Structure formats: structure tokens, C-alpha cells
Chain A
């Protein structure tokens, strides 16, 4: 079946504008993660959704970042009043539930965000 998809693939915006990034997980995957990859750095966890539980927002760097997920489907990551330091590749991953410690997370191709 289809993998994780993300849109747009590239986004260029001006400082101070809001942006929305979209993730379509693999059908049936109850867990969904957002990560950020800044140039020369590893991936940083941002937020995690698991079924109908309250999301784990512990990785969000500021209150300008928020995310939503409707049921077990699409998720959107919103960045308000973008800053240049928000420039990064934003990766989404999904995973089945209950597979244990060794479950694989499946990653999308990412959205490259550039804030001018």
C-alpha cells in the first residue's frame, strides 16, 4: 500500500507568516510522530499522537508550534509567526499500535521549510 505522504514537499515563506504542513499516515497506523531535522543536526522529536489519547507535546520548541490530528488520519503541523530558525525539514512518521519495542516507524519524505 501507499507509504506516508507529506505536503507540500517544499515551502518558502517570509518571516512572520504562518505555515501549515500536512501528513497522511499509512492507513491503520494509530501512532503518528512529527520530527524536525535542522541542517547538520539529528532529528528532534516534536509531537506524538497515539489513537484517541492526548498528544505528547513535550518536544514542541515554543507555543508558536501546534499540531492536530483527526482520528487516526491526517495530521497538520502549524507554525505561527515563523522565524528563520524554524527553517528545517519536517518529517512525519507513522507506526502500528501494540507492536512492542521493536516496531518500525515509517517516515514520509519530509517538507523542507525555508523562512526568509
Chain B
């Protein structure tokens, strides 16, 4: 079965600092990986998705993620944190189109002024 593991339930960074949120996947087939963000009291919004066209994926709001098969990782990064980035971030994987997503437990990002 496919699964993802997010290391760190809570990450705190200073405004302007690098954001690194970790996600490792377990999959016997090419994984279809996604990062979603959930702002307080809102639904989930897609940040980016891995499509195999490139290992470095750029998403919205300056976020990007790098797919590393050798490390089975798909970590999310942003060079410079902004206060508005404070939210919960979820890594997810699916086995095929039109199938349920399997989510990690989420990482809450706090940004300190």
C-alpha cells in the first residue's frame, strides 16, 4: 500500500528564513505525489504536484519540491518564509487517477516575526 510520512508535526521558522517540510513516500510503483496547504478554517488547496516531467516542481506562493527517487523523498521548500505562509501542510500520494489520496499527518508551519 502506498503511504507518506511527514517528519515533524510542527516546524517554526523566522520570517525570511528557509522553509523545509519533509515528506517521504513508500511506493512500489511510480508515486503520484502532491502537496496541499490548509489555512486556518479553510479547505485544502493544492500547492504543487509531481508529474514525472521534472524532478524539481514549482508551485504557488514561491514553494517548490524536489522528487528524489534514491531517497524516496518529496520535500517542500521555500527560500524565504512570509508570515502568510503560516498554515498546515499535507503531503499526499495516490495510486492512480480518480482514486483517493493518502495523506500524511501534516506539518504545522509557524512563522515568527
Chain A interface (Cβ < 8 Å from any Cβ of B)? 4, 31, 33, 35, 40-45, 48, 50, 56, 59, 91, 93, 95, 97-105, 107-110
Contact = CB atoms under 8 A, between A and B. Distances in A.
A44 to B, nearest CB: 8
B49 to A, nearest CB: 5
A42 B104 contact: yes
A43 B97 contact: no
> What band does the interface of chain B fall in when counting residues whose beta carbon is under 8 Å from A?
20 to 34
B101 interface: yes
B97 A45 contact: no
Given A101-B32, A101-B96, A43 B43 contact: no
Interface SS of chain A: helix, strand, loop or mixed?
A: loop
Contact of A50 (B41, B44, B98): B98
A41 B105 contact: yes
